Amino acid sequence: MQRKQSRRIIGSFAAAILLAAVLIFSLSTCRSKQPLDPMTAYRPDMRPEAISDLDLAYVRQLPRYWITFTVNYKDRLLRGEEVVRYIHRTDTPVRDIYFRLYPNLSYYGGSMEVNRAVLNGSVVSFDYSVDTTALHIPLATALGNGEKAIISLRYTLKAPAKPDNRYTLFGLSQSVLNLPLSYPILAVYTPGGWALNSGLPMGDTLFSEAALYHVTATYSRTLTAIHPGIAVARKPMTSTGEVRETYVTGPVREFAFFLSPNYHFVEKNVDGVRFRSYYLTGDGINGNIASLYGMAVFRIYQKKFGFYPYRTMNVVEAPITYRGMEYANLALLGTDLYRGKHAHQEFLLSHEMGHQWWYNMVGNDQVTYPWLDEGLTEYSTTAYFEEVYGRRRAEQIIHQRWEVPWQSLVQSGLDAIVNQPESAFRTGSEYETIVYGKGALFFNALRQQVGDETYYRILHTYWLRYKYKTATPEDFLSVAEEVSGENLHGLYRKWVLSTSSG
Ligand SMILES: [Zn+2]
């Protein structure tokens, strides 16, 4: 009885296991039939606290790029193919789509050609415009609000070699092959149509929407690659001596890529963010100092402006003399700042890091309203210097860096309106004094008028409302008025829309 019963128990136990196995199998089959959430691919680049950003309706509609490219470092050649998903999001239907080919800008000196275009599965014709810096694809049927286009482009790029002592944003210099903006980038559709104006060498070039990237790059194993986002796969290719890496990003403004046989890095962890400082051979001491400054700036900005959502941030030594430059997840500092001019490293880094908030996260048309990100980023440095060195140091910066040069322009009768496009400025020094200096002084005047607490509440609200979006000067002004409860038009008119003579 006992045995019989136990045999029955064993029998029913086996049946239960079988049933469970069938259930698990059928459940897993069911699950595999459900479409995977496409946003899952980008999660590795988001900090746990920010993963839900990928579920925002707006973020799900952002452009997505799947790019595969191979770089021949020696010949400075890149061959690539990209698939881009574009969702049109305005009520005005479009009959064309434009991409920007920034390497063809005369001051970049590259040569980019598109060899094949496929639209929604069919090969289509295309032509170039704006001095070959724009690619125009006519659409057979208009694209309305919420409608989607899938565009595949095959392209080649030859990058120039430039002298080692020159400011080199693009091309080979000091052993670094600089490849920012090295793929066809969707132009931005604005209320005035596709934005196709180009910047000037003294200002920023790119105007783009935030987008999600999945990139596979193949390059020589002797090189170190620097890129935004995070590597999710790496495969050495023994037959060719190359390596193939796959990266994903959260919503970022662009995918920049840098290669050199001479890069080294120090890596730290800042509250779960992988913080790297890349430096060239021989510059280790200042590479380490840049890392320390960078982490301090990062912590302060995150506290004052808003949570940094990505898993990586990098400070990068680059062949841009004594200047700085911003890209998504990357703050570039010129080699001179590691070799003699290092007294300026801290200030420039505090500026370039600020662009992660005011450029990468909150975007704006940098060619038409350069002051909106540059003035705010420049003034944001005071948040760092005040916290670390006290209010007096911040006041010195305000006076020496912005007030003195601007007052000198005023006295020479050369004061200019802040809210102007890059092309309105005649010289680099006028551009810097007005867009950066007088632009920063507007934010200083705003802070004095509304008080510290309200000022930072304005910045935080602006960041939260326009994160991964594109803001205009009017958007900033309306957030400032809403949060402060004050009419700020007079202040705005005085600093941003007028000259000292009226
Ligand atoms: Zn800047």
Residue 376 Cα to ligand 1 midpoint, Å, equals: 9
- Give me ligand 1 centre to Cα 324, in Å: 8
442-458, pLDDT tens digit by residue?
999 999 999 999 999 99
CA-closest candidate to residue 178, choices 388, 327, 65: 327
Ordered by where they begin, the domains of the chain are 370-497 (1.10.390.10)
Instruction: Measure the CA angle with vertex 446, ends 444 and 450; round to 5°.
Output: 120
Give the confidence band of 340 by pLDDT, cuts at 50, 70, 90: confident
* The residue to which tokens 């601007």 are assigned: 406
| H/E stretch holding 236 | strand 230-237
User: Would you say residue 18 has pLDDT above 90?
Assistant: no
- Using CA atoms, how far apart are residues 256 and 335, in angstroms rounded to an integer? 18
This prediction's pTM:
0.92
16 pLDDT exceeds 70? no
Whether 34 shows a pLDDT value over 70: the answer reads no
Distance 288 CA to ligand 1 centre (A): 23
Q: How close is the Cα of 435 to the center of ligand 1, in Å?
A: 10
Complete DSSP assignment for 381-430: HHHHHHHHH-HHHHHHHIIIIIIHHHHHHHHTT----SS--GGG-SSHHH
d(CA 501, CA 104): 40
pLDDT higher than 60, residue 397: yes
Cα-to-centroid distance, 350 and ligand 1 (Å): 10
CA 476 to ligand 1 centroid distance, Å: 18
User: 439: CA distance to ligand 1 center in Å?
Assistant: 12
User: Which tokens hold the place of 319?
Assistant: 């062949």
Q: How many angstroms is it from 139 CA to the middle of ligand 1?
A: 36
Distance CA 459, CA 445 (A): 14
Confidence label for 323 from pLDDT (cuts 50, 70 and 90): very high
d(CA 207, CA 233) in angstroms, rounded, equals 30
pLDDT at 200 over 90: no
Q: What percent of the chain has pLDDT over 70?
A: 93
Tokens, residue 366: 């940098």
| pLDDT mean across residues, the chain | 93
Q: How far is the CA of 6 from the centre of ligand 1 (A)?
A: 78
Residues ≥6 apart with Cβ < 8 Å to 100: 133, 134, 135, 181, 184, 185, 186, 187, 196, 206, 208
Task: Work out the number of other CB atoms within 10 angstroms of the CB of residue 487.
Answer: 9
| Helix%, strand%, coil% for the chain, nearest 5 | 40, 30, 30
Tell how far the Cα of 346 is from the centroid of ligand 1, in angstroms: 14
pLDDT-derived band at 5 (thresholds 50, 70, 90) equals very low
Cα separation values, 407 from 238, 442, 443, Å: 62, 14, 17
**Residue-level pLDDT at 341:** 84
CA distances, 198 to each of 130, 131, 166, 432, 441 (Å): 9, 10, 22, 18, 27
Contact indicator for 325, 332 with CB cutoff of 8 Å:
yes
